[in-house]
Protein backbone atom coordinates (compact mmCIF):
# COMPACT_ATOMS: atom_id res chain seq x y z
CA UNK A 1 0.00 0.00 0.00
CA UNK A 2 1.71 3.19 -1.18
CA UNK A 3 1.02 6.58 0.36
CA UNK A 4 1.67 10.09 -0.93
CA UNK A 5 5.27 10.95 -0.03
CA UNK A 6 4.22 14.43 1.09
CA UNK A 7 2.51 13.07 4.21
CA UNK A 8 4.61 13.17 7.36
CA UNK A 9 5.05 10.14 9.62
CA UNK A 10 2.92 11.91 12.24
CA UNK A 11 0.04 12.22 9.79
CA UNK A 12 0.38 8.66 8.47
CA UNK A 13 0.33 7.29 12.00
CA UNK A 14 -2.43 9.53 13.36
CA UNK A 15 -4.78 8.58 10.53
CA UNK A 16 -3.63 4.93 10.37
CA UNK A 17 -3.11 5.53 6.63
CA UNK A 18 -6.62 6.97 6.43
CA UNK A 19 -8.27 3.58 6.00
CA UNK A 20 -12.07 3.68 5.84
CA UNK A 21 -14.32 0.64 6.14
CA UNK A 22 -16.00 0.53 2.73
CA UNK A 23 -19.21 -1.13 3.89
CA UNK A 24 -20.00 1.07 6.93
CA UNK A 25 -17.82 4.11 6.13
CA UNK A 26 -16.39 3.86 9.67
CA UNK A 27 -13.13 5.75 10.13
CA UNK A 28 -11.94 2.97 12.46
CA UNK A 29 -11.92 -0.30 10.50
CA UNK A 30 -13.50 -3.34 12.20
CA UNK A 31 -11.51 -6.14 13.81
CA UNK A 32 -11.52 -9.22 11.60
CA UNK A 33 -11.60 -12.17 14.01
CA UNK A 34 -12.63 -14.96 11.62
CA UNK A 35 -10.24 -17.90 11.40
CA UNK A 36 -11.69 -19.47 8.25
CA UNK A 37 -13.25 -18.19 5.03
CA UNK A 38 -15.62 -19.51 2.40
CA UNK A 39 -14.27 -20.58 -0.96
CA UNK A 40 -15.67 -19.29 -4.24
CA UNK A 41 -17.92 -21.71 -6.18
CA UNK A 42 -14.96 -22.70 -8.38
CA UNK A 43 -12.95 -23.56 -5.25
CA UNK A 44 -10.68 -20.51 -5.31
CA UNK A 45 -10.07 -17.87 -2.61
CA UNK A 46 -10.36 -14.62 -4.54
CA UNK A 47 -10.72 -12.63 -1.32
CA UNK A 48 -7.13 -13.47 -0.48
CA UNK A 49 -8.24 -15.07 2.78
CA UNK A 50 -8.31 -18.79 3.44
CA UNK A 51 -7.33 -19.42 7.06
CA UNK A 52 -6.29 -17.35 10.07
CA UNK A 53 -2.83 -18.79 10.69
CA UNK A 54 -1.07 -17.45 7.58
CA UNK A 55 -2.81 -14.10 7.31
CA UNK A 56 -5.47 -11.75 8.63
CA UNK A 57 -6.96 -8.48 7.38
CA UNK A 58 -6.47 -6.56 10.65
CA UNK A 59 -2.88 -7.77 10.80
CA UNK A 60 -2.37 -6.60 7.23
CA UNK A 61 -3.62 -3.13 8.20
CA UNK A 62 -1.05 -2.96 11.02
CA UNK A 63 1.65 -4.19 8.64
CA UNK A 64 0.77 -1.55 6.06
CA UNK A 65 1.03 1.24 8.63
CA UNK A 66 4.34 0.12 10.11
CA UNK A 67 5.72 -0.52 6.61
CA UNK A 68 4.76 2.99 5.51
CA UNK A 69 6.51 4.48 8.54
CA UNK A 70 9.69 2.48 7.84
CA UNK A 71 9.63 2.83 4.06
CA UNK A 72 9.49 -0.96 3.69
CA UNK A 73 8.43 -3.04 0.71
CA UNK A 74 6.90 -5.77 2.89
CA UNK A 75 6.20 -5.95 6.62
CA UNK A 76 5.35 -9.06 8.65
CA UNK A 77 3.83 -8.82 12.14
CA UNK A 78 4.47 -11.53 14.73
CA UNK A 79 3.19 -12.45 18.18
CA UNK A 80 6.26 -10.96 19.90
CA UNK A 81 9.55 -9.26 19.17
CA UNK A 82 11.39 -12.49 19.99
CA UNK A 83 9.33 -14.50 17.52
CA UNK A 84 9.98 -11.91 14.81
CA UNK A 85 13.74 -11.96 15.37
CA UNK A 86 13.94 -15.75 15.65
CA UNK A 87 11.91 -16.18 12.46
CA UNK A 88 14.47 -14.05 10.63
CA UNK A 89 17.41 -16.06 11.96
CA UNK A 90 15.71 -19.35 11.11
CA UNK A 91 15.13 -18.03 7.59
CA UNK A 92 18.88 -18.03 7.01
CA UNK A 93 19.02 -21.84 7.04
CA UNK A 94 21.63 -24.20 8.54
CA UNK A 95 25.28 -23.32 8.09
CA UNK A 96 24.77 -19.57 8.12
CA UNK A 97 27.21 -17.36 10.00
CA UNK A 98 25.82 -14.37 11.89
CA UNK A 99 27.58 -11.34 13.35
CA UNK A 100 25.80 -9.76 16.31
CA UNK A 101 26.68 -7.11 18.90
CA UNK A 102 27.96 -7.88 22.36
CA UNK A 103 25.59 -5.26 23.71
CA UNK A 104 22.02 -6.12 22.77
CA UNK A 105 18.64 -7.23 24.11
CA UNK A 106 19.53 -9.92 26.63
CA UNK A 107 16.85 -12.51 25.81
CA UNK A 108 17.74 -12.51 22.11
CA UNK A 109 21.45 -12.62 22.89
CA UNK A 110 20.82 -15.68 25.07
CA UNK A 111 18.88 -17.37 22.25
CA UNK A 112 21.65 -16.70 19.77
CA UNK A 113 24.29 -18.01 22.15
CA UNK A 114 22.44 -21.04 23.50
CA UNK A 115 19.76 -22.10 21.02
CA UNK A 116 20.84 -20.93 17.56
CA UNK A 117 23.65 -23.54 17.23
CA UNK A 118 21.03 -26.32 17.41
CA UNK A 119 19.58 -24.87 14.17
CA UNK A 120 22.97 -24.89 12.45
CA UNK A 121 23.73 -21.20 12.97
CA UNK A 122 27.10 -19.93 14.14
CA UNK A 123 27.20 -16.54 15.85
CA UNK A 124 30.09 -14.23 16.65
CA UNK A 125 29.43 -11.43 19.14
CA UNK A 126 31.54 -8.34 18.49
CA UNK A 127 31.80 -4.69 19.46
CA UNK A 128 29.45 -3.59 16.69
CA UNK A 129 29.89 0.08 17.62
CA UNK A 130 33.45 -0.17 16.26
CA UNK A 131 32.97 -0.45 12.51
CA UNK A 132 36.45 -1.86 11.89
CA UNK A 133 35.87 -4.60 14.45
CA UNK A 134 32.56 -5.40 12.77
CA UNK A 135 34.22 -5.57 9.35
CA UNK A 136 36.92 -7.88 10.72
CA UNK A 137 34.31 -10.35 11.94
CA UNK A 138 32.72 -10.81 8.52
CA UNK A 139 33.39 -14.01 6.56
CA UNK A 140 32.67 -13.32 2.89
CA UNK A 141 30.48 -16.07 1.50
CA UNK A 142 29.70 -17.54 4.92
CA UNK A 143 28.28 -14.56 6.80
CA UNK A 144 24.62 -14.33 5.86
CA UNK A 145 23.40 -11.70 8.29
CA UNK A 146 24.76 -8.81 10.32
CA UNK A 147 22.53 -7.88 13.26
CA UNK A 148 22.67 -4.42 14.80
CA UNK A 149 20.78 -2.93 17.69
CA UNK A 150 21.05 0.83 17.86
CA UNK A 151 20.78 2.40 20.35
CA UNK A 152 21.66 -0.83 22.16
CA UNK A 153 19.94 -1.97 25.34
CA UNK A 154 20.85 -1.15 28.13
CA UNK A 155 24.11 0.75 27.55
CA UNK A 156 22.72 2.74 24.60
CA UNK A 157 25.69 2.31 22.33
CA UNK A 158 25.27 3.58 18.77
CA UNK A 159 26.27 1.67 15.63
CA UNK A 160 26.89 3.14 12.20
CA UNK A 161 24.05 1.75 10.07
CA UNK A 162 25.33 3.11 6.75
CA UNK A 163 28.85 1.81 7.35
CA UNK A 164 27.61 -1.58 8.51
CA UNK A 165 25.34 -1.86 5.46
CA UNK A 166 28.23 -1.24 3.08
CA UNK A 167 30.41 -3.78 4.88
CA UNK A 168 27.68 -6.42 5.06
CA UNK A 169 26.77 -6.09 1.40
CA UNK A 170 30.42 -6.26 0.33
CA UNK A 171 30.65 -9.61 2.17
CA UNK A 172 27.47 -10.93 0.57
CA UNK A 173 25.41 -10.58 3.76
CA UNK A 174 22.25 -8.68 4.64
CA UNK A 175 22.00 -6.10 7.40
CA UNK A 176 19.16 -6.29 9.93
CA UNK A 177 18.64 -3.55 12.50
CA UNK A 178 16.72 -3.79 15.76
CA UNK A 179 15.34 -0.24 15.79
CA UNK A 180 12.94 -0.77 18.69
CA UNK A 181 14.23 2.13 20.77
CA UNK A 182 14.93 4.56 17.94
CA UNK A 183 11.49 4.00 16.35
CA UNK A 184 10.78 5.17 12.78
CA UNK A 185 10.18 8.64 14.21
CA UNK A 186 13.91 9.14 14.83
CA UNK A 187 15.64 6.58 12.56
CA UNK A 188 14.68 4.83 9.33
CA UNK A 189 17.33 2.15 8.82
CA UNK A 190 16.14 1.09 5.35
CA UNK A 191 16.88 4.61 4.08
CA UNK A 192 20.40 4.16 5.51
CA UNK A 193 21.00 0.88 3.65
CA UNK A 194 19.55 -1.78 5.96
CA UNK A 195 17.77 -4.75 4.40
CA UNK A 196 15.52 -5.60 7.37
CA UNK A 197 14.25 -3.59 10.33
CA UNK A 198 13.03 -5.43 13.40
CA UNK A 199 10.75 -3.98 16.08
CA UNK A 200 9.63 -5.29 19.38
CA UNK A 201 6.27 -3.63 18.80
CA UNK A 202 5.46 -4.39 22.44
CA UNK A 203 7.49 -1.30 23.24
CA UNK A 204 7.13 2.09 21.56
CA UNK A 205 5.01 1.11 18.56
CA UNK A 206 2.16 -0.01 20.81
CA UNK A 207 3.24 2.18 23.70
CA UNK A 208 0.69 1.19 26.33
CA UNK A 209 2.17 -1.94 27.94
CA UNK A 210 -0.79 -4.09 26.92
CA UNK A 211 0.27 -5.86 23.71
CA UNK A 212 3.01 -8.37 22.86
CA UNK A 213 3.97 -7.98 19.19
CA UNK A 214 6.94 -7.89 16.85
CA UNK A 215 7.61 -6.85 13.30
CA UNK A 216 10.01 -7.43 10.43
CA UNK A 217 10.15 -4.70 7.78
CA UNK A 218 11.87 -5.78 4.55
CA UNK A 219 13.43 -3.42 2.04
CA UNK A 220 12.56 -5.97 -0.68
CA UNK A 221 10.00 -8.75 -1.00
CA UNK A 222 12.75 -11.26 -1.71
CA UNK A 223 13.60 -14.84 -0.84
CA UNK A 224 14.51 -14.01 2.76
CA UNK A 225 11.15 -12.30 3.23
CA UNK A 226 9.34 -15.27 1.68
CA UNK A 227 11.08 -17.72 4.03
CA UNK A 228 10.21 -15.57 7.05
CA UNK A 229 6.58 -15.52 5.92
CA UNK A 230 6.59 -19.31 5.56
CA UNK A 231 8.12 -19.75 9.02
CA UNK A 232 5.51 -17.44 10.52
CA UNK A 233 2.75 -19.51 8.94
CA UNK A 234 4.12 -22.96 9.76
CA UNK A 235 5.11 -22.07 13.33
CA UNK A 236 1.90 -20.19 14.09
CA UNK A 237 3.69 -16.95 14.93
CA UNK A 238 1.16 -14.44 13.59
CA UNK A 239 -0.27 -11.76 15.88
CA UNK A 240 -3.88 -12.18 17.03
CA UNK A 241 -6.27 -9.73 15.30
CA UNK A 242 -7.40 -8.06 18.53
CA UNK A 243 -3.78 -7.31 19.46
CA UNK A 244 -3.24 -6.02 15.93
CA UNK A 245 -6.16 -3.63 16.45
CA UNK A 246 -4.65 -2.41 19.73
CA UNK A 247 -1.29 -2.00 18.01
CA UNK A 248 -2.87 0.18 15.32
CA UNK A 249 -4.57 2.26 18.00
CA UNK A 250 -1.26 2.73 19.79
CA UNK A 251 0.50 3.67 16.56
CA UNK A 252 -1.90 6.58 16.04
CA UNK A 253 -0.13 8.51 18.82
CA UNK A 254 3.39 7.17 18.13
CA UNK A 255 4.87 10.49 17.05
CA UNK A 256 3.42 12.42 19.99
CA UNK A 257 4.39 9.78 22.57
CA UNK A 258 7.93 9.23 21.32
CA UNK A 259 8.74 12.92 21.10
CA UNK A 260 7.32 13.56 24.59
CA UNK A 261 9.31 10.68 26.05
CA UNK A 262 12.50 11.84 24.31
CA UNK A 263 12.05 15.38 25.62
CA UNK A 264 11.66 13.99 29.16
CA UNK A 265 14.70 11.75 28.72
CA UNK A 266 16.81 14.66 27.51
CA UNK A 267 15.86 16.82 30.48
CA UNK A 268 16.44 14.00 32.96
CA UNK A 269 19.77 13.09 31.38
CA UNK A 270 21.03 16.65 31.77
CA UNK A 271 19.90 16.90 35.39
CA UNK A 272 21.16 13.46 36.35
CA UNK A 273 24.57 14.28 34.85
CA UNK A 274 25.01 16.72 37.72
CA UNK A 275 23.55 14.52 40.46
CA UNK A 276 25.86 13.74 43.37
CA UNK A 277 24.68 10.11 43.50
CA UNK A 278 25.24 9.40 39.80
CA UNK A 279 28.66 8.59 38.38
CA UNK A 280 27.65 8.25 34.71
CA UNK A 281 24.64 8.94 32.51
CA UNK A 282 24.37 6.84 29.35
CA UNK A 283 22.31 8.68 26.73
CA UNK A 284 23.32 9.29 23.07
CA UNK A 285 22.24 12.94 23.13
CA UNK A 286 24.96 13.88 25.62
CA UNK A 287 28.07 15.31 23.91
CA UNK A 288 30.42 13.06 25.91
CA UNK A 289 28.64 9.89 24.77
CA UNK A 290 31.00 7.88 22.51
CA UNK A 291 28.28 7.41 19.89
CA UNK A 292 27.03 10.98 19.95
CA UNK A 293 28.33 12.01 16.52
CA UNK A 294 26.87 8.96 14.77
CA UNK A 295 23.60 9.39 16.66
CA UNK A 296 23.35 13.01 15.50
CA UNK A 297 23.85 11.84 11.92
CA UNK A 298 21.32 8.99 11.84
CA UNK A 299 18.78 9.95 14.52
CA UNK A 300 16.68 12.82 13.20
CA UNK A 301 14.68 14.94 15.62
CA UNK A 302 15.51 13.21 18.88
CA UNK A 303 17.52 10.56 20.69
CA UNK A 304 14.80 8.41 22.18
CA UNK A 305 13.25 7.93 25.59
CA UNK A 306 15.76 5.42 27.03
CA UNK A 307 18.72 6.20 29.26
CA UNK A 308 20.70 4.47 31.97
CA UNK A 309 22.52 5.74 35.02
CA UNK A 310 25.34 4.24 37.05
CA UNK A 311 24.92 4.86 40.76
CA UNK A 312 28.02 6.17 42.48
CA UNK A 313 27.91 4.00 45.59
CA UNK A 314 27.61 0.69 43.75
CA UNK A 315 25.11 -2.12 43.17
CA UNK A 316 23.49 -2.07 46.61
CA UNK A 317 22.89 1.67 46.37
CA UNK A 318 21.39 1.22 42.88
CA UNK A 319 18.97 -1.44 44.08
CA UNK A 320 18.08 0.66 47.13
CA UNK A 321 17.39 3.70 44.96
CA UNK A 322 15.03 1.68 42.76
CA UNK A 323 13.24 0.51 45.91
CA UNK A 324 12.55 4.11 46.97
CA UNK A 325 10.77 5.39 43.86
CA UNK A 326 7.09 6.23 44.22
CA UNK A 327 6.11 7.40 40.72
CA UNK A 328 8.50 5.41 38.53
CA UNK A 329 7.44 1.76 38.26
CA UNK A 330 9.91 -1.01 39.09
CA UNK A 331 9.16 -3.16 36.05
CA UNK A 332 10.81 -4.68 33.02
CA UNK A 333 10.09 -3.68 29.40
CA UNK A 334 10.17 -0.14 28.05
CA UNK A 335 8.51 2.31 25.71
CA UNK A 336 5.16 2.72 27.46
CA UNK A 337 3.49 5.97 28.45
CA UNK A 338 4.44 5.29 32.09
CA UNK A 339 8.03 5.66 33.31
CA UNK A 340 9.86 2.47 34.32
CA UNK A 341 13.03 1.83 36.28
CA UNK A 342 14.93 -1.45 36.43
CA UNK A 343 18.13 -2.89 37.87
CA UNK A 344 19.13 -4.79 34.75
CA UNK A 345 21.93 -6.91 36.20
CA UNK A 346 19.41 -8.58 38.50
CA UNK A 347 17.36 -9.55 35.45
CA UNK A 348 20.18 -10.69 33.21
CA UNK A 349 22.09 -12.70 35.81
CA UNK A 350 25.52 -14.21 35.37
CA UNK A 351 27.61 -13.40 32.28
CA UNK A 352 25.69 -10.19 31.70
CA UNK A 353 27.80 -7.34 30.29
CA UNK A 354 25.55 -4.94 32.18
CA UNK A 355 27.35 -3.14 35.05
CA UNK A 356 25.84 -4.10 38.44
CA UNK A 357 25.53 -0.44 39.47
CA UNK A 358 23.33 0.41 36.47
CA UNK A 359 19.67 1.42 36.53
CA UNK A 360 17.79 1.48 33.23
CA UNK A 361 15.22 4.26 32.85
CA UNK A 362 12.37 4.29 30.36
CA UNK A 363 11.09 7.84 30.42
CA UNK A 364 7.35 8.05 29.91
CA UNK A 365 5.17 11.02 29.03
CA UNK A 366 4.40 12.27 32.55
CA UNK A 367 5.26 15.78 33.72
CA UNK A 368 9.04 15.85 33.84
CA UNK A 369 9.15 17.74 37.15
CA UNK A 370 7.24 14.92 38.80
CA UNK A 371 9.63 12.36 37.36
CA UNK A 372 12.63 14.39 38.46
CA UNK A 373 11.46 14.90 42.02
CA UNK A 374 10.82 11.18 42.38
CA UNK A 375 14.14 9.95 41.00
CA UNK A 376 16.02 12.68 42.85
CA UNK A 377 14.62 11.71 46.25
CA UNK A 378 15.18 8.02 45.48
CA UNK A 379 18.85 8.58 44.66
CA UNK A 380 19.41 10.86 47.66
CA UNK A 381 17.77 8.33 49.98
Question: Residue 96 region, left (φ>0) first, then alpha (ψ -120 to 50), else beta?
Answer: beta
Cα 56 to Cα 244: distance, rounded to the nearest angstrom:
10
Marked catalytic residue, from 109, 160, 178, 232: 178
3-class DSSP state for residue 338? coil
Indicate if 105 belongs to the active site. Answer: yes
Q: What is the separation, in whole angstroms, between the first and last Cα of the chain?
A: 54
Marked catalytic residue, from 10, 53, 166, 313: 53
Q: Say what angle helices 81-91 and 106-114 make with each other, to 10 degrees.
A: 30
Marked catalytic residue, from 109, 144, 188, 203: 203
Cα 189 to Cα 104: distance, rounded to the nearest angstrom:
17
Burial of 234 (0-12, 13-18, 19+ CB in 10 A): exposed
For residue 272, give the nearest of 259, 262, 263, 282 by alpha carbon: 282
Indicate if 203 belongs to the active site. Answer: yes
Answer whether the bond into residue 154 is a cis peptide, omega within 30°: yes
Marked catalytic residue, from 105, 109, 160, 257: 105
Indicate if 53 belongs to the active site. Answer: yes
Cα 213 to Cα 215: distance, rounded to the nearest angstrom:
7
**Which distant-in-sequence residues (6+ apart) come within 8 Å of 306 by Cβ?**
151, 153, 154, 156, 181, 265, 283, 334, 335, 360, 361, 362, 363
Structural contact between residues 199 and 185, judged by C-beta atoms closer than 8 angstroms: no
Q: How many residues does the chain have?
A: 381
Cα 215 to Cα 217: distance, rounded to the nearest angstrom:
6
Q: Which residues are catalytic?
A: 53, 105, 178, 203
Amino acid sequence: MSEPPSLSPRTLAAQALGLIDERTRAIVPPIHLATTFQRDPDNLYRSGNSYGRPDNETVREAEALIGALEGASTTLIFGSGMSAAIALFLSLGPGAHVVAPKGMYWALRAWLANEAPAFGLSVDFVDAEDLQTLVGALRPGATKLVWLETPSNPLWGVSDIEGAARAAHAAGAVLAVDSTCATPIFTRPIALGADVVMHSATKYLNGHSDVLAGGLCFARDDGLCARARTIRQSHGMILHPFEAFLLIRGLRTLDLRVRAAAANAMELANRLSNHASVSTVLYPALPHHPGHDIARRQMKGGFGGMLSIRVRRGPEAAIAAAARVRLWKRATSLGGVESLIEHRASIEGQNSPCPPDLLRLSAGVEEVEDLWCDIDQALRG
